[in-house]
Amino acid sequence: MDSQRVGASRRRCLVGLGGLAWTLAGCGGGDATFTSWASLPGAAPPVPHGLRFDVQELGGPLGIASTAAAVNDDGTVVGIAEQAARDLYVPTRGFAVVDGQTIDLGNLGSTNCSPTAINGAGWITGSAGWRRPGEHIFLYRDGGMEDMLPALGIRYGIAYAINAVGHVAGRFDPGNGCAYHAFVLADGVLTEINAFGGFYSVARGINDAGVVTGTGTLGGPPPWPGGCEQGGPLHAFVYAAGEFTDLGTLGGTRSDAWAIDAAGTVVGSSSTEGDQESHACRWQDGRASDLGTLGGNASSARALNAFGDIVGTSLDREGLSRAFLVPAGGEMVDLNSLLDPDSGAGWTLNVGNGINRHLQIAGDGLRDGRRCGFLLTPLL
């Protein structure tokens, strides 16, 4: 995809956005090309009134169901395709969609592959293995998948994020039973992040400065028999230069961090006072902001772009999961309400997992009742 064009297949006139004006091909009086949100002045370009998204199904050639996990600024999407169940488990294939073409990433010769993140260079990370446990961290680049575990000397792990220079963050099994600990893998060296000294932690985001965000338990005894993620309360954290910062909550006892941008803004979710609800949350300049819900009692922010636009998932008043967009400086909106009526027919968008600077959004939803990954592209 040409990174200087969005919605090339369906373009509409756009005049006066951010104090600028263009004449687009087909609008009459010229053949100029919209040059993306990145060309707009200021750090937070507005989302134009009347914005609509074209929706494209992803991952169909490789499975019977799919999800899109992330999208980079070139519009390349990575995701997971589920195949027919075998012996009570569901094998998966990892895929990338580049310029409209679906690429099978392979699976290290195993039964499952789950890509989770992609950087601007097109490097992809995630996990591959034989059911669970047994995940191997992988790095896919230059057309091939590399198993990172043998050189690291750990049993298994999962990668969730990768930055511009290829540093990876995730969680691994430190070999002491039920515990999982967050890690950063930089230049071949794995650094364990035992957030708050608890038994469980996971890193889900890393920015280009190497600042990591994630979630960890505030101590507590081993969780048996309650499961690996029970025990002490979970709090979102930031880790930088060997130091942890507890991001706190919206008044409840639990918070989770999912992504971090270049300025250190973190998004995720937090329980509110009384722990009866959990809301999408943004941590910025030392302050937690409640992003609200779409009428239900739970929401979670999953990703943000360079301009501060945020995507995620929320329950609506009927308790159904709906993908949302929170434009920078704006309020939460149901992405289903912004779908083009032609390409959006039959779709219900459930989760927004990734967003790039061109306002392309990757996630998953239902298309005529079948779970599918999607890519949304603005129609302008």
For 335, phi then psi, to 5°, come to: -65, -25
Instruction: pLDDT tens for the chain, 380 residues: list them.
Output: 333 222 333 333 232 222 222 222 333 333 333 334 444 444 445 556 788 999 999 988 788 899 999 999 999 999 999 887 766 667 889 999 999 999 999 888 888 899 999 999 999 999 998 655 458 899 999 999 998 877 777 778 899 999 999 999 999 988 766 678 999 999 989 999 887 878 889 999 999 999 999 999 887 655 444 555 555 789 999 999 899 999 999 999 999 999 999 999 999 999 999 999 999 999 999 999 999 999 999 999 999 999 999 999 999 999 999 999 999 989 999 999 999 999 999 999 999 999 999 999 999 999 999 999 999 999 96
Distance CA 198, CA 195 (A): 6
Contacts for 11 with CB less than 8 Å, ≥ 6 apart: 24, 25, 26, 27, 34, 379, 380
Which tokens in the block code for residue 118? 């992609």
Which tokens in the block code for residue 120? 């601007």
Q: Could you tell me if 150 and 140 are in contact, meaning their C-beta atoms sit under 8 angstroms apart? A: no
Distance CA 74, CA 96 (A): 12
Distance CA 25, CA 56 (A): 22
Domains of the chain: 52-379 (2.130.10.150)
Distance CA 115, CA 105 (A): 9
Q: What is the DSSP string of 96-150?
A: EEETTEEEE---TTSSEEEEEEE-TT--EEEEEESSSS--EEEEEETTEEEE-HH
Cβ neighbours around 146 below 10 Å, total: 15
Burial string for 256-273 (b: 16+ CB within 10 Å, else e) reads bbbbbbeebbbbbbbbbe
Which tokens in the block code for residue 98? 């580049």
Cβ neighbours around 357 below 10 Å, total: 16
In the chain, count of helices (H) and strands (E)?
1, 28
- What pLDDT does residue 329 have? 87
Picking from 337, 373, 367, 369, the residue whose alpha carbon sits closest to that of residue 53 is 337
Say what the pTM is.
0.86
- What pLDDT does residue 195 have? 79
- What pLDDT does residue 49 have? 72
